[in-house]
Structure 1
Amino acid sequence: MSAQQSFTAAAPVRLWEDGFARNPHGYYAALRAQGPVGWAELAPDTPAYVVTERRAALDVLRDVEAFSHDPRGWEATVPADSPLLGMMRWRPNALFSDGDAHLRYRTSLIDVFDLIEPHDLRALVHRAVRLLVDRFGPRGEADLVADFARPLMALVFNNLFGLPDSQGDRLDEGLLKMMEGGALAAEGEAEYADYVLRLVAAKVAERGEDLPSMLLDHPAGLTPEEVTWQVFLTLGAGYEPTANLVSNALSRILGNSLYYSTLTSGARPVMDAVVEVLHHETPLANYGVYYARRPVPLHGTRVRPAVPVVVSFGALGLFAEREAGGGRRDGDAAHLSWGAGPHACPVRHHALLVATEAIERLTQWLPDLDPVLPRDRLDWRPGPFHRSLNSLPVRFTPRSPDRPGGSS
């Protein structure tokens, strides 16, 4: 094979298989065996390049001249009923734009999120945890995905976006279907889009103290349609990955009793567990999607236009630690879960605050959480983009939020 590899004869690694959810590291190893840029399928007969090496990833993330976030060239090559379109189709928002349009959308989002005071966001999380523990605490058992992580995000993000608590189930159901990229993806996309359209229409009619209203009134002069697509992006990008970050971190904490005891005693910060998840089980494992503007060489592979180039944040954390000799790196040194370059996550600090506060508050109320299943028997949701648990069943001493763990 020449230095500029052709993948036409290579068997693609099928990230849409159920086996990927059970053993992603095995699939990443198969991709890495092909070199820094592997050949995969995101859905049947839908190929993609997958970047598994840090230097190659940074070249993609930072090179705006060679790589674009605009998927319309790729869209023209896939069937109209492709299950990937819910997550990958072009929309006029910060994720799928380049240049001046991207800067306009991104700046408006940063500006309005900067108006959220950390103490207000912390209070929202505390309120949500209290409401949820009040529901399942007296039972002495819960599923920390269905009963905690996902409804917690519905409560927090509906509040930020100006909807009542009662709307949480509709938000959750649409995003679940869309994220998995399976047979129900189009249905989920339609449900979620309807949710957002109704939300923005309500704010156009009557402003409130919420993010959509602030976007509508931002000096950038976004139209209601543009605001709709920024909300579509940020509500989904805030809700789904942060819910998975919480549940993935809880699964790691509860799977190690010594680790759990150091957290509940305060000897070790929850942030350590969150950073471990970003290294090993990052929630959006394969959603750094770019497109070559022209045929370009990328670390031994000649990348063609109209074929997705997926930066695998899931693979990067795993292999970066191995390349460091197995030693632990602090902070973000060994992962790129927040991206890099112009499209790096603009609200990472908000997501980290929500996740860490949620876990800290839950373990304060319920310090004796006991997993029902060992970690290697937990069930993971299918789909090429995310790393997400189906459930995390636990038992604990029945309690009310009025009597948190440790009180007499």
Structure 2
Amino acid sequence: MKRVFLMILDSFGIGSSVDAGKFNDCGADTFGHIVEQCFLGKANKAREGYLKIPNLQKLGIFQAHNASTGKYPIGYDKKFYNSKIIASYGFASEISSGKDTTSGHWEIAGAPVLDDWYYFEKLNNTFPETLIHEIIKNFKLPGILGNCHASGTEIISKLGEEHIKTKKPILYTSSDSVLQVACHEDIFGLYNLYQLCHIIRSLLNKNKYKIARVIARPFIGMNKLNFQRTGNRVDFSIKPPSVTVMEKLVAEKKGKVIGVGKVSDIYAGVGISKSIKSFGLKELCNTTINEMQLAKNNTIVFTNFVDFDSIWGHRRDVSGYAKGLEFFDSQLYKMIHLVNKEDLLIITADHGCDPTWSGTDHTRENIPILIYSPGRKVKFLGHRTSFSDIGQTIAKYFSLSKMQYGTHMF
């Protein structure tokens, strides 16, 4: 029986990539800086002390980080962190043009983004007037709010009350190729929000704006003191530019791909047999463990653990990120014990989001590749020059036709 359990720790970078200078990210190191801050006692909100991740240790996360950066992070103590490595480990650099979720995930699946995305670069009056006019006209809106670059939580706090009064949706973006729409879940309505995002996605496609995602950002609360985003986020993505390894598994082996969390949204549903929406790290872990227990032959269980990015990375919350890693590690123990002799458990990431870095955007970093399979000899996987090596490895494992991009690791 062959099964792959592919776990994306969203934003879990392990050191700036060779081309990080193009993104002003030289020196970014999500994992390394979290370990350092924990050691220095600067990550003690609701937790304390060293970063406690014994299972990621056993899978080789510190060795992968050392290979990526040429050093161990400050606070790494071999006496504390020493353990027998049970997984193959290495790191990968990205060839896609962006440092965003879509680019990273697509490249992992063997479909890198080699052309540039379109970005809304103006910080204010961000969106083209003709596009705003079409959005307002097609959905019969009284107008829009925002129209700028912003942090999602901050713009909801600033404009949420006006949105409630006027029913005008809040439109904003970031340095990623995204257009985000925040609306009150009850007052504007979830259905209306999704329909609005669907219309915006269609307008962007019609006008040939290569925007990776339109993101519905529902929130609740009645004033800036109690506004909070809910788990009913939906990403309206464009389809990958080439065939993914998930599509090949379904087509060539009649296999199944179980997408947990926002995985299906990222791939616009392409190659996903079953989508399970989950919200929050605890629920994502529980759902993943349940699907691992149910998985049959020729199945991929594919989970995106979004909280590391959306809740702790972007909000520059080192303590929260560290606590999240420690909780995930406690659940990883259960996952490891569900891996059979022929299975592959792959732990990786899609980009960085260093919580010690300036600003609130993603960081261009290498990603870890940790592959646990009880029936395989542990090996150093080295520096992989594309995330697509993961997709190519999965293709070979399932005896699928060769992917266009990437080199297999076994």
TM-score range, shorter chain: under 0.3
TM-score by length of 2: 0.28
TM-score normalised by the chain length of structure 1: 0.28
Identify, as 1 or 2, the structure richer in helix. 1
Higher strand share: 2
